Structure 1
Amino acid sequence: MLTKNVTEELEAVLQALHDEGKTPSIALVKARLSTPVPMPALISTIKSWKSVKRVPKVEIAANAQPADKIAQLEQQIAALTERVSILEAQLSEKS
Structure 2
Amino acid sequence: MNAAVFEAIKVLLDEGKVPTVALTKSRLTTPTPMPVIIAAVSQYKNNPDSIYNLMKPPKQSTSNEGQNSSQLDRIEQKLDQLLTLLAPK
The alignment's TM-score, normalised by the length of structure 2, stands at 0.49
Greater helix fraction, Structure 1 or Structure 2: 2
Indicate the structure with greater strand content: 1
Greater relative CO, 1 or 2 (CA 8 Å, sep 6+): 1
Higher-Rg member (1/2): 1
TM-score of the pair, normalised by structure 1: 0.46
